[in-house]
């Protein structure tokens, strides 16, 4: 039986790569997609998400709009990374489909409650929607198998020297999600920057996809091609790696570690503080004590294996 999943996205070029994988892979049953402001303003995120699902032939998947801005921070975007339209400025034909009338938290609530078996929630964006979902409808935990979060890092930042974009965009939401997941006994895998950049696809592979008959393959190739031009060749499949982690967890090395989200700090706000200490002496003298929140932090990945999984699913020869 295909594994039921829901995605929370801020589509975005790499969210699009993830959506194509989740929509096309036969071992996944993509039940719904919720949108949040992040890489681009919410209206563009919704339009981009509907467009990508249309390219994948999946107009059956409901899409809902969630929060346009973080819980406390002002809305910011990353169009310097993803292009003015958030989808690589490809002039790809836009879907005319309307989003689901329900707010994202209600669509997620309904879909998770009605799912035939526990659902894997894959978050690829700032965690505003998910914080609101878990605090408003904690009963959905009974319908969730686990959560895979693309966010944070043990060692590096990208939005700032110390924070990863999805967590930096809404640190309070990230802290709430990790706290609520621990409260609700939900397993969390943190697919962060320590692995995010390792699964890569070359410009030549992208060009072959872009020349394909299949619309989803063409879009996939153009998305990677955009990244190759903007950031260099090869380009990461980004968020799609978090979906690969659902399909092929064996290729990911994780360690269950205490994590806190820095909410203060002049230069460290939004950092995921991953505690990798092992000597009890250090811990016993630490005034902060050990974080009660532990997550499975991805520390290494077989990048070529995830890149191949994505390429094969896109139909690369």
Cβ neighbours around 290 below 10 Å, total: 13
Contact partner, 164, from Ca ion, ligand RIB, none, Cβ < 5-8 Å per class: ligand RIB
Cα dihedral sign, 7-10-11-16? negative
Distance CA 125, CA 65 (A): 13
Distances (CA, A) of 45 to 9, 52, 87, 164, 267: 8, 11, 9, 19, 29
Total residues interacting with Ca ion, rule: CB under 5 A = 6
Cβ nearer to ligand RIB, comparing 143 with 152 = 152
Residue 136's SS3 state is helix
- The minimum distance between CB 99 and Ca ion, in angstroms, equals 18
Cβ nearer to Ca ion, comparing 13 with 115 = 13
Residue choice 125, 140, 173, 177 for contact with Ca ion (CB under 5 A) = 125
Question: Is the preceding peptide bond at 14 cis, omega within 30 degrees of 0?
Answer: no
Cβ neighbours around 235 below 10 Å, total: 25
Stretch that binds Ca ion, among 4-12, 25-33, 100-108, 153-161 (CB under 5 A): 4-12
Distance CA 20, CA 52 (A): 7
Cβ nearer to ligand RIB, comparing 15 with 194 = 15
Cβ nearer to Ca ion, comparing 86 with 221 = 86
Q: Which residues bind ligand RIB (CB under 6 A)?
A: 10, 12, 14-15, 38-39, 124-125, 150, 158, 164-166, 238-239
Contact partner, 158, from ligand RIB, Ca ion, none, Cβ < 5-8 Å per class: ligand RIB
Residues that bind Ca ion (CB under 5 A): 10, 12, 15, 124-125, 239
């Amino acid at each position: 039986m295909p594994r039921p999943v829901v995605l929370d996205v801020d589509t975005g070029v790499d969210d699009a790569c993830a959506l194509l994988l989740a929509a096309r892979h036969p071992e996944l049953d993509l039940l719904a997609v919720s949108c949040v402001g992040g890489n681009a303003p919410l209206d563009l995120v919704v339009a981009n998400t509907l467009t990508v699902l249309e390219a994948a032939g999946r107009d059956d998947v409901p899409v809902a709009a969630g929060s346009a801005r973080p819980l406390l921070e002002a809305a910011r975007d990353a169009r310097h990374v993803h292009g003015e339209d958030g989808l690589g400025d490809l002039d790809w034909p836009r879907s005319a489909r309307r989003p689901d009338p329900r707010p994202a938290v209600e669509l997620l609530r309904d879909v998770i409650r009605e799912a035939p078996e526990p659902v894997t929630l894959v978050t690829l964006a700032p965690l505003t929607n998910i914080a609101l979902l878990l605090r408003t409808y904690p009963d959905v935990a009974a319908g969730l198998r686990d959560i895979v979060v693309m966010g944070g890092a043990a060692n590096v930042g990208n939005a700032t020297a110390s924070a990863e974009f999805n967590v930096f965009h809404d640190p309070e939401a990230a802290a709430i999600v990790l706290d609520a997941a621990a409260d609700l006994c939900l397993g969390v895998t943190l697919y962060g920057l320590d692995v995010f950049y390792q699964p890569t696809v070359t410009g030549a592979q992208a060009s072959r996809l872009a020349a394909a008959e299949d619309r989803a393959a063409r879009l996939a190739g153009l998305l990677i091609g955009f990244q190759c031009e903007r950031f260099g060749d090869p380009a990461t499949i980004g968020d799609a790696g978090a979906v690969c982690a659902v399909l092929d967890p064996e290729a990911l090395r994780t360690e269950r570690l205490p994590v806190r989200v820095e909410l203060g700090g002049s230069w460290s706000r939004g950092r995921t503080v991953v505690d990798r200490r092992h000597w009890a002496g250090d811990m016993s003298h630490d005034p902060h004590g050990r974080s009660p929140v532990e997550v499975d932090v991805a520390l290494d990945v077989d990048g070529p294996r995830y890149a191949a999984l994505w390429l094969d699913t896109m139909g690369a020869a």
